[in-house]
Amino acid sequence: MVKYLSEEWRAEVEKRLREQLDPEKMNKITSSMNSRYLNCPDGGKKHFFVGFSNGNVDKVLAGDGDGPTAEFCISGDYETFAKISRAELGSQKALMGGMLKLKGNMVKALKLASLSDRINKIIATIETEF
């Protein structure tokens, strides 16, 4: 079991995404997404960044603070993201329900929503301590 958003968790997420996401299934996308976690248990902010280049996982980062600039930035409470990572809540539902806020091209983001769900389903398979 790994602690959510820790270096061990990040490394496991990266490993699984690289193993399970085929560039064809990812529509050979080149994009990046940074999730900004607010109201974390330690009182601070955290981030989770995923970048793709031609459908391949290019970079996976997690840590303290706002994180790097990305094509899409999604912000919300730690607990909302934890529910998404446990597959208890869909990211689209959270976004449309106002639990998450998106900065970036909304039309492109909606086209990529199914890819985001695919990523979250993989993350949900990791035994994680929240």
Q: How is the chain split into domains, by residue range?
A: 2-129
- CA-CA distance, 85 to 79, in Å (whole number)? 10
Asked: is 2-129 a CATH 3.30.1050.10 domain? The reply is yes
- Which pLDDT belongs to residue 108? 82
- Which pLDDT belongs to residue 27? 84
When pLDDT is averaged across residues 10-17 and rounded to a whole number, the result is: 98
- Which pLDDT belongs to residue 44? 95
Choose among 82, 80, 88: nearest CA to 5.
82
- Chain mean position to CA 128: 15
For residue range 69-112, what is the model confidence (pLDDT) as tens digits? 999 999 999 999 999 999 999 888 998 899 999 999 878 887 77
| Biggest alpha carbon–alpha carbon distance for the chain | 40
CA distances from 118 to 6, 46, 114, 123 (A): 21, 22, 6, 9
